[in-house]
Structure 1
Amino acid sequence: MGKAGTDHKAARTTAQIEADIVRTRDQLAATLDELAVRVHPSTMVAQTRARMLGSVEQKAGRAYVAASGAVEKVKAQFTDEKGRPRQERIVPAALVGVGVLLLAASVRKRRQG
């Protein structure tokens, strides 16, 4: 490889070497600029904020799915397969609800009176 490799390097002109140096310097400057942006506090804050928002959105989505499932379970208890109300379940539940409200009102009236 000796002489052929040497001939190839000798064939490069000063202008080519200078162009390589300029290209390398520009690449290094671009890399340094990119690193400066990555470690800049505002960039780090923005990345942290984005991660936090993603986490919150993910948890909110899970909560929504869970709540929707719970609502569907409750709805299924008070409706039949065709979506019609089940009177045999609604009436007792309504009576319990009215009883709780009357009890709360009675307790409140006693405290005020």
Structure 2
Amino acid sequence: MGENGHGGAERSPADLEKAGRAALGRPVTAQAEHSRIEPANGSGANGAAPAGPRSPQQIEAEIERARANLAVTLDELVDRVKPANVAKRTADQIRAQFVDPDTGAPRMDRIAPVVGGVAGVLALVIVVKRRGKRKK
């Protein structure tokens, strides 16, 4: 196992964010890639806290980094929950169920049962309506 207890080498926060975005199918925007280079807690690249007390300028810089990170995160959340984007993602997920993403060809093995089910429901509705008319 690696140092992080999960096997493999340690990964930077930026690498972890890229991997997470890729797993969710979202591109890493240039803004997001550059906004989270340094942690907001003032630690250096190796994760250790800086030695000695911090100057007011260091504290201000840390606050600005945290503010920039928060702004990017908020923009990403707003974009993620925007109704048009939710609808597009849902449509893409449904389309992926019925169209082969590699070739773009329809997946008949998935389309046929749906068409059969719709035809069965329509036949049932017609039969029920005709029986209702005969009883009157």
Q: TM-score, normalised by structure 2?
A: 0.37
Larger radius of gyration: 1
Q: TM-score, normalised by structure 1?
A: 0.44
Q: In proportion to residue count, which structure has more helix?
A: 1
